[in-house]
Every structure is written in C-alpha cells, then in structure tokens.
Chain A
C-alpha cells in the first residue's frame, strides 16, 4: 500500500527552496515515488492509499552522522571503558542506536568499534532484533604501532608495513566492513598520541585504499596534521576525519580530489565545556584545547576552498552522547561556519555523498530511499530544534515509520 504524505513543508536537501504544501508518495519498495508541490505530484491510482497529514510540519531527508563510535558511550573516563566486556557493550550499543534513530538519524557511519561490535549491532538491526539506523561498519581501526593505542583495548588493529595493512584491511572486509578506517596521524584521545604527526607511509595507506577498492568500498582517514592529510588524499581516501591542522595545500588537494571533510567539532566543544572537574583526562583536554581554534579555522578554509563538509560528531567520545548528534550542526551555525540550511545539507546530501550513498539517500527525490524525518518547528530558523528528540515527530526509514510520536 503506497503511503502519501501531504501538507508538509519540504526541505529536500538538493539546494531547492522549501516547498510549502508538499506531497511525497512512498512506494511499497521503500522508495520515494514522487515528491513535489501539491499541484505537480500525481497521486497513485490505488484506492487503498495511506494518507498522512503532516499538518504543515517540516519534512527533511533523514539525518546522517558520518562519524560515530557506537560502542563508546560518552564516558569521561575512557580507560575504565576497557573493563566493560563485549557482550555488555553490544547491548549498550544496540540501545544507543535506538536512541540515535529516534533523534532523526537514519544512517550512521561507524568509524571504529572494539572487536567488531558494529558488525553484530548492524546484524541485530537488520534482523529486527532492535531498532536502529542504517549502519555502515568499519570494524577495527587500522593503525601503526604508536603511543596510546593500548588506551582503547581492541579498538585498533595494529599493522606495520604494506603487507600487514593489506591483511588487516582484508580482515575487516571479510567480516563485512562497509568502509575502512585508518589512522593517518596521531590522536588527541590517545595518551602520547601526537595529533600533528603523520603515521603510515603513503604506500601503506595505498594498501588500504587498494583493498577497499577491490570491493567498491571507501576509506576514511583520521588525520589532524597536514602531512597526514596530504598522504591520505594522495593515497586515495574518500574522507578526512577531523582535519585539524590542514594547510592551504592540503585543503586545495582535498578540493581537487573531491575528498570530503568530516569536522567532528562537537567532541572538542563538549570536552571543553564539561572539563576537567567532570573527569575528562588532562592530556585530552590540553590537546583538544590546543587544536580547537586550528580546527575551526581549517573548516572555514576548507569551505572557502570548495571542500565539501560531511557532518560527523565522533559520538561516543566524552560527553558526546549518542542521540545528541545534531549538536554538531548547532556548532557549525553558532561558529558562523554555515547557515542552518548548509548545516542540514552537511548532514544529509553531503554526508550521503561522503559515505558513497549519494545515489540512494541524502535528499528527497524520486527514486531515492524514503528516509525522512518530520520535525516540529522550523530548523532553518533555529537549528537547535533538531537537538530535541521530542520535536522529531516521525522518522521514516525506507518508507516505514520507525518512530512516530503521533501514534506512539
């Protein structure tokens, strides 16, 4: 039975102006049959249509977070997290995914999970055991031998040399990874990690890109330092995560190669906001503090150079709770980096493209999957509305209402 959504204010994410009085027809195959203004959309001939009146509310493409860690849960004490065993983490992660979905996020790209927990949670969502967004998995993060990886037990697959990177990439792909994640530089959250320092050689990064490419999958590179960014772009990754110390040359390379930037500004904001008294380790705070202004500047430069921004939060890191993902967009707007409209597009159209799902999701267009959210209030006026799960009235995932405050 096709569903027809009527009387919506549609922000389709393509760059078009908002359409008042929009009509969207959802097919049985979970796709959008037609979307447009009331006059232009022809209703299906079937007599048994399900009509849903959106009562003039906003309807947007389902939101996408291109950078999360589902089995971390926003704990201040990262080290203690190592004591939580995998099965319990999996249960917790499954519940976090339900929260994420209810916050309007219909797709997440998971860029690193302890012991492949993301594969298990994805399976549980696909088998209908729990509700959750579409999950893109990466398994463990590929990293060279370096300081601080032991701080996150089993999150990293340590490899050194071209052959080992190949093998490690293949291990994640064997388990069904949808993408691969590699540490191109040191990390803020790892004690002793030097965010500015490049890590694998270009040749090693190429090994990862080659293996992903064989199965049509993309690579996300964690990179703060500018040399690490350049190495990654040169090796052929699809996205740069964080990008804190990107210089002019790095940003230009990214723009040229159509590499997306996933800024993850929320994490620094939140760590700094809740601070030391709340238990965030001192070394993390110091590094976050140091990187903060650089990162804002890098995002600004990237945008003016034509680099596309895909919204990513690093959800799961200290105080960066799953379900609060939309806060990242608030930061974009509050820091003057984007208009609300641009912020939403970073979390829909551009995030979809960065994930390689631009054909299927990210905008409300004929033929795309019907991942849609109905919002109470005007997010183009006030982006903070999207942070309130009570104002995310209905969430459609592939045409099915997976959350509906109207009826629940």
Chain B
C-alpha cells in the first residue's frame, strides 16, 4: 500500500527552495515514488494524510551517538551496570531518538558491542528505533583513561593488533569503524591534543574497513591526530577541536567531514560541577570550548562539510532523544543558518555516513525517511528541539510515530 502526503511544505534538503502545497507519494517498497508540486495523487490507493501546510523534512541523522550509554553524570559508576541491563535500557532510548525525528544514527562506540544487539532488536521489529549504523567497540592504543569506560575500548598496539581489532568489529557486522586518533576529554588522564596511533596503525583500520566497503570515523581533537587520520584515509573527523589551517585544508582536499558534537561540552558546562559533572571533564572542556566553536567556524569557511553529531549517551546529561539540541547550538553560536543546520543533519550527515544514495534528501527513488514538523524550523530551529513538534515520523516508508 502506498502512502500519500499532501498539503506539505517540503524542505527536501537538496538546497532547492521550499515547495508549498507539495505532494509526496511513498511506494510499497518504502521509497519515495513521486515528490513535488502539481502531482495528481487521486488515483493512488493507500493512506492519504493532508498535512495542511506543515513542514516536511528528510528524517534527521545523528552521525555520532553511543548506544548503551545514557547520559549519566557519574561515568565511573556506569561501569557497574551490567550489559544486559544496558541493552534493556537502550530500548526506550532508541524509541525516544526516533520520536525526536532521528531516523538514522551512526553509533560511535558501544560497551561490549551492545549496538549489534540493539540494532538486531530494531530490525526484527521487537522495538522501535532509528536505522542504526554500528561500529562495535572503539579501537584505541594503550593510554590513560580507557579503563574509565569498561568494555568500550578494544585496546590495540601495533599494525597487526589494529588489523585484528578492526576485524573483530567487522566480524560482528560493524557498519563503520571508530578509532581514537587522539586522547579524550572524558577519560581521566587523557590528553585531547596528543596524537595516539601512528599513521601506519590508522591505515590498517582504513584498509580493513575498505575491504568490506566500510568507512572509518576518527575521534581527533589535536591537529596532528586529525592530519594523521586524514592521511590514513578516514571518512570523518569527530570533534576536531584543535584543527589548524593545514588540518582543515587536508580535510577539504580529501572530502573528510567534520562531526562537531558541540552538545557534549555545552551540557557539561550548563549543568556544571554542582550537578555532579566530574571536575576534570569541566576543566578540559573549558580549555577547549571557545577554540572548538572557532574551529567549526573556520572549518565551514574553509569549505569543510559539517555533519551533525551530538555524542548522545556518552557525556553527562546528553540524553538520547535530545540530539537535535546540537542544531540549536549551531544556530545560536552563529555557525549556521537554520537551513544549513538542517542540511548538516540530513544531506551532509548522510554523505558522511556513506548513505547519500539512500537517505538524507527527499528525492524520487530515495528511502522514505520523512518527518512532519509543526512550526517553521527554518524560521526557528528550536522547533526541532521538542519532540512534541515532531508530528509524524516515517522510517523506510512506514509510519513509526503519529501524534
């Protein structure tokens, strides 16, 4: 059965102007059959929804989340929650994510490869959730602070171990690979500016990923780490806090996307020490924050494409389902127009994930991941922050939320 949406204000994410009073016909196969103005849908058999001028956007994509973590303040205590309980906890979190209008997430690291289980549960229809791109555990060198997140890292040193570490994730079905190219803010003792694996080690991961047509996401704050990662051939730089001119140019030249995750730091500072955020995290965040926003600005000016990523789950108060707050920060900080913010969470994020043929824009032949929004997000991006405004969510052409 087909589905027809009419009376829609379509923002298709391609850069084209908004279409007033548009029609979208979704086919049986879950793909967009027709989209645009002046489409006669009268002969189409199926459910028809008159949207009365509500906005229709491509389903949103969060290119950086952590399934299995839940925005806990006391990260260390989180190690005491065993994985089966975490898996159950993720059920509601994936539903909240979908209800927030996020139809695809790229997972950037899960404790004991929980993401594979949760993805299975979604695909078998046991639970509601977005399309999940999995990566399993994060590959990291031996360094300070990894023990702070029990089971999240696959520690490897040397080319062979990185190969094996990558293959272990791919064996379980990883859709992408995630590597720590520099130290981390959230790991005690982690030095965000310090490069970690050698380029040769990073290359092993990229090579193993490419054998199966999969991409690599590199966590990198420091400029050297960013350059190493880009030279090794990763697809995305996560965070990118301390990128210098050379690093940004390299990214542009190699069409490497920047996944910003400004929300993590924003929430840590917003809630602060009085709400229990560990002091060392706040210190490191403070040091890096101003520079990070500036980096995003410079990256955009240099022509680096930005893909929206929130870091949902892993950092304090960064709950699943709040992902779109990242967009609000882009606009508030003057980094993007609302339109560009939405494109970062649709078209650009799809490209960063390597899924641009299927999702990210509303075009004929693409998968019908579609959200219907109450209010005008191009006028006021905040509209997207409350899931009450997300009236309908279609995932792969199926109506997954309707309020």
Where the two chains meet, the residues of A that have a C-beta atom closer than 8 Å to any C-beta of B are: 85-88, 90-92, 94-95, 117, 120-121, 123-124, 127, 129-130
CB proximity of B216 to chain A, nearest CB, Å: 25
Give the distance in Å from the alpha carbon of A121 to the alpha carbon of B85 in the complex.
7
Main secondary structure of the interface of A (DSSP, over half): helix
User: How far apart sit A124 and B118, CA to CA, in the bound complex (Å)?
Assistant: 16
Q: Please name all residues of chain A whose beta carbon is closer than 8 Å to the beta carbon of B83 when the two chains form the complex.
A: 87
Counting chain B CB atoms within 10 Å of each CB, the highest count among A86, A88, A120 belongs to A88
The answer to whether A91 and B85 touch across the interface, beta carbons within 8 angstroms, is no
Q: Is the CB of B117 within 8 A of A94?
A: no
Give the docked Cα–Cα distance between A90 and B84 (Å): 6
B117 and A88 form a contact (CB under 8 A): yes
A121 touches B121 (CB 8 A): no
Are B117 and A121 in contact (CB-based, < 8 A)? no
Expressed in whole angstroms, the Cα–Cα distance for A88 and B89 within the complex equals: 12
Would B91 and A94 count as touching, CB distance under 8 A? Answer: yes
Known: A120-B84, A123-B85. A88 touches B92 (CB 8 A): no
Closest to A88 in B: B117
B92: which A residues are within 8 A, CB to CB?
Answer: 129-130
A124 contacts which of B85, B114, B121, B126 (Cβ < 8 Å)? B85
A sample of 18 cross-chain residue pairs with beta-carbon separation below 8 angstroms, ordered by A number, consists of A85-B117, A87-B83, A87-B84, A87-B114, A88-B87, A88-B120, A90-B85, A90-B87, A91-B117, A91-B121, A92-B121, A95-B126, A117-B84, A121-B88, A123-B85, A124-B85, A124-B88, A129-B91
| Complex Cα spacing A91 to B68, Å | 12
**Which residues of B are found within 8 Å of A86, using beta-carbon distances?**
84
Contacts of A117 in B (CB 8 A): 84
Contact A90 B88 (CB under 8 A): yes
> For residue A73, which residue of chain B has the nearest CB?
B126
Contacts of B82 in A (CB 8 A): 120
A363 to B126 alpha-carbon distance, docked (Å) = 35
**Minimum C-beta distance from A249 to chain B (A):** 43
Minimum distance in angstroms from A174 CB to a CB of chain B: 14
B126 and A92 form a contact (CB under 8 A): yes
A-B residue pairs, 8 tightest by C-beta: A120-B84, A87-B117, A87-B87, A90-B84, A124-B88, A94-B88, A88-B117, A91-B121
A95 to B126 alpha-carbon distance, docked (Å):
8
Q: Which residues of B contact A91 (CB under 8 A)?
A: 87-88, 90-91, 117-118, 121, 126-127
Q: Which residues of A contact B89 (CB under 8 A)?
A: 124, 129
Apart from A91-B91, A94-B91, A129-B85, 11 more pairs, CB < 8 Å: A87-B84, A90-B88, A91-B126, A91-B127, A95-B91, A95-B126, A95-B127, A120-B88, A121-B84, A124-B85, A124-B88
Contact indicator per residue, chain B 71-85, by CB within 8 Å of chain A (1) or not (0): 000000000001111
With both chains docked as a complex, state the minimum distance between the C-beta of A97 and any C-beta of chain B, in angstroms: 10
CA distance A94 to B121 in the complex (A): 12
- Name which residue of chain B comes closest to A130, CB basis: B88
Most buried by B among A87, A94, A120: A87
Which A residues are CB-close (under 8 A) to B87? 87-88, 90-91
A120 surroundings in chain B (CB, below 8 A): 82, 84-85, 88
| Inter-chain contacts of B120 with A (CB < 8 A) | 88
Chain A min CB distance to B116 (Å): 8
Query: B99-131 toward A: CB 8 Å interface, digit per residue (1/0)?
Result: 000000000000000100110110000110000
**Closest residue to A121 on the B side, CB-wise?**
B88
Closest to A93 in B: B88
In the assembled complex, how far is the CB of residue A372 from the closest CB belonging to chain B, in whole angstroms?
Answer: 26
Instruction: With CB as the reference atom, state the residue of chain B lying closest to A125.
Output: B88
| A121 CA to B83 CA, complexed, in Å | 11
Closest to B89 in A: A129
Q: Shortest beta-carbon distance, A90 to chain B, in Å? A: 4
A91 CA to B82 CA in the complex, in Å?
13
Tell me how far the C-beta of A132 lies from the nearest C-beta in chain B, rounded to whole angstroms.
10
B56 to chain A, nearest CB (A): 30
Smallest beta-carbon distance A164→chain B, Å: 25
A175 CB to nearest chain B CB (Å): 10
**Distance between Cα atoms of A91 and B128 in the complex (Å):** 12
CA distance A367 to B245 in the complex (A): 73
Determine the chain A residues whose CB is within 8 A of the CB of B84 once the complex forms. 86-87, 90, 117, 120-121
Is B88's CB under 8 angstroms from A129's CB?
A: yes
Instruction: State the Cβ distance, A207 to closest chain B Cβ, in Å.
Output: 28
Cα A117 to Cα B84 in complex, Å, equals: 7
A121 / chain B contacts, CB cutoff of 8 Å = 84, 88
Q: Give min CB distance, B15 to chain A, whole Å.
A: 40
**Is A130 touching B121 in the complex (CB atoms < 8 A)?**
no
User: With a CB–CB cut-off of 8 A, which chain B residues contact A127?
Assistant: 85
Given A95-B126, A95-B127, A120-B82, check contact A88 B88 (CB 8 Å).
Answer: no
- Shortest C-beta distance, A75 to chain B (Å), equals 13
B113: nearest chain-A partner, CB-CB: A87
- Taken together as a complex, chains A and B put the C-alpha atoms of A129 and B90 apart, in Å, by 9
Complex Cα–Cα for A130 and B88 (A): 8
Task: For A87, list chain B residues within 8 Å (CB).
Answer: 83-84, 87, 114, 117-118
Minimum CB–CB distance from A214 to chain B (whole Å) comes to 25
- For the complex, give the distance between the alpha carbons of A260 and B127 in Å: 38
Q: Which residue of B lies closest to A132 (CB)?
A: B88
Q: How far is the CB of B78 from chain A (nearest CB, A)?
A: 13
Nearest CB of A to B321, in Å: 15
Give Cα distance in the complex from A19 to B115, angstroms. 52
Across the interface, name the chain A residue whose C-beta is closest to B87. A87
Q: Which of B83, B88, B89, B117 has the most CB of A within 10 A?
A: B88
A91→B83 CA distance, assembly (Å): 11
* Chain A proximity mask over B19-32: 1 for CB below 8 Å, otherwise 0: 00000000000000
CB distance from A272 to the nearest CB of B (A): 28
Q: CA separation between A201 and B399, bound complex, in Å?
A: 58
Residues of A within 8 A of B126 (CB): 91-92, 95
Within the complex, which residue of B91, B114, B117, B118 is in contact with A130, where a contact is CB–CB below 8 Å?
B91
Q: Residue-by-residue, is B363-378 near A (CB-CB < 8 Å gives 1, otherwise 0)?
A: 0000000000000000
Closest-by-CB residue of B relative to A71 is B84
| Distance between B130 CB and nearest chain A CB, rounded to angstroms | 16
Residues in chain B near residue A88, CB distance under 8 A:
87, 117, 120-121
CB nearest to B83 among chain A residues: A87
Query: B109 CB to closest chain A CB, in angstroms?
Result: 16
> A90 CA to B126 CA in the complex, in Å?
12
The minimal Cβ–Cβ distance linking B117 to chain A, given in whole angstroms, is 3
CB distance from B101 to the nearest CB of A (A): 23
Which chain A residue has the least Cβ–Cβ distance from B112?
A: A87
| A187–chain B nearest beta-carbon distance, Å | 25
B115-151 CB contacts (< 8 Å) to partner A: 117-118, 120-121, 126-127
Q: Contacts of B114 on A, CB cut-off 8 Å?
A: 87
Residues of chain A lying within 8 A (CB to CB) of residue B117: 85, 87-88, 91
Distance (whole angstroms) from the CB of B380 to the closest CB of chain A: 33
On chain A, the residues within 8 Å of B118 by CB distance are: 87, 91
Residue from B84, B89, B92, B117 having most chain A Cβ neighbours under 10 A = B84
> Who on chain B is nearest to A117 by CB?
B84
A124 to B90, CA, bound (A): 11
The CA of A373 and the CA of B380, in the complex, are separated in Å by 48
